[in-house]
Amino acid sequence: MSEKKYILALDQGTTSSRAIVFDLEGNTVSTGQHEFRQIYPQPGYVEHDPFEILSSQMSAAREALATVNAEEIAAIGITNQRETTIAWQRSTGRPLYNAIVWQCRRGAPLCEQLIAEGEKQYIKDVTGLVIDSYFSASKMKWLLDNVPEVRRLADAGDLCFGTVDSWLLWNLTGGRVFATDITNACRTMLFDITKRDWDKHLLTRLGIPRSALPEVKPSAGQFGVSVENIFGCAIPITSIAGDQHAAMFGQCCFEEGVAKITYGTGSFILMNVGSKPPVSKSGLLATVAWQIGDDVVYALEGSAFNAGSAIKWLRDELHIIETPQQADRWAEDVEDTAGISFVPAFTGLGAPRWDMYARGGLLGITRGATNKHIARAVLESIALQCCELVDAMTDDSGIPLREIRVDGGVSNSAFVMQYQADLLGIPVLRPRCVETTAIGAAMLAGLGCGVYSGIEELRSVWALDKRFEPEKPAEWAAEKKRIWNKAVERCSGWAEQ
């Protein structure tokens, strides 16, 4: 029998599926990555093909395993884009519709209805969430109401509603396991984060059968075993965590008051608040950070729906830049944005504003504006959104942040990271491994399969790459925030009927 030397992390994201093999010291051994289509049936709607999610993830995994022996993999950890919802037939595993992506706004009318019917406080108290089409519940309800086969199979007890982790687990185990972990469950707007169970009132109110929902398990532990023919041998699957929770774990945010920002398609800030569900007065979310055994850690979360996606928009739709690095160089080439403000509200605004009808805006344009000014305004907007969230978080928790840990693709931008430090007035720490989502999944999988004895053993995995110290006065930051607020107000409610 081969010695177990590695852990395979499957990192299923919004625009690509990645796989990374780590050794037991947390070093990257090999990687694979495959992008897949973004489907936009109409404005505000976003979908993925479930088979493309699956095939891109399996291709990435096989690519990562090409240089190692699969029999040396101790375990698989899964981390995934959250809230994205897939409906499939339990008896055949056949998807019944495209995956409805977390960014999709088609659930907005239902959310308005729930607010009008007085469900706002109940949902906040029970789930920790605000009513928004971001979460899975409105997507499930839309599928039940608009896809006849989904309704028919729900009535027949032959339906599975799952987030992406459940879809991957189902297929990896050959349809033997229908489960999720607590971090994904708590993002559905159907899960009681105190009782740690699906909420009967919300299931009844939305007509979602409990039989269609997966079993909820801790983030680390035995989820199942991959069928042998996928990777050439059976491999235990011993962790699942939503991408932001995995990144928080990978950043070793193990103490209360430690926070991280992940700059991916969107920007996500999570702060460890300990063993009790927090209460936010600022429109932030109370969420489960992770569960290991019986121990549950909670977090405050703020999210901005568009960050890296704004840079992709510059590249893919406007064709202003060829690479993200070019945006960085251009931002450094000009002293400022020449008065331009950019609000990346392509799919509405998340915390603390929660405006489903906000839309993006490029404001303050004059004849002297250039591509370079626009690129700089887009990069600045990413940091400005995060600053708003951090301010709300410190107000809610009463804990001033001493530093913030960063990861994700945009954290490679020295311009954005320095701008972020200047706005926040605190150091920004970027680790040597910015693949913290994947390494968090691997660390949890290592705990789940027993190759690590406990959390303390994992601290040595985190290592600093660069520390960005603030260089601007508080008055400068206050003025930048004032202009940002003015721009956001102009974009609020834009798409309202």
181-211 pLDDT, tens digit per residue, is: 999 999 999 999 999 999 999 999 999 999 9
State whether residue 252 is helix, strand or coil.
coil
> How much is the CA Rg of the chain, to the nearest whole Å?
22
424-447: per-residue pLDDT in tens? 999 999 998 878 899 999 999 999
pLDDT band with cut points at 50, 70 and 90 for residue 2: low
What's the CA gap between 420 and 402, in Å, rounded? 14
Query: What is the pLDDT averaged over residues 56-64?
Result: 95
| Largest Cα span, the chain | 70
Write down the H helix ranges in 147-217: 148-155, 164-172, 182-185, 200-206
Query: What is the pLDDT averaged over residues 450-474?
Result: 90
The pLDDT assigned to 496 comes to 78
Whether residue 1 has pLDDT greater than 60: no
Q: Which has the closest alpha carbon to 131: 142, 140, 119?
A: 119
232-277: per-residue pLDDT in tens? 899 999 999 999 999 999 999 998 888 999 898 889 899 998 888 8
366-414: per-residue pLDDT in tens? 999 999 999 999 999 999 999 999 998 888 888 888 889 998 889 999 9
As given in the structure block, the two tokens for residue 454 are 């406990």
The pLDDT assigned to 497 comes to 63
The pLDDT assigned to 305 comes to 84
pLDDT band with cut points at 50, 70 and 90 for residue 103: confident
319-375: per-residue pLDDT in tens? 999 999 999 999 999 999 999 999 999 988 887 888 888 999 999 999 999 999 999
pTM of the model: 0.85
The pLDDT assigned to 434 comes to 75
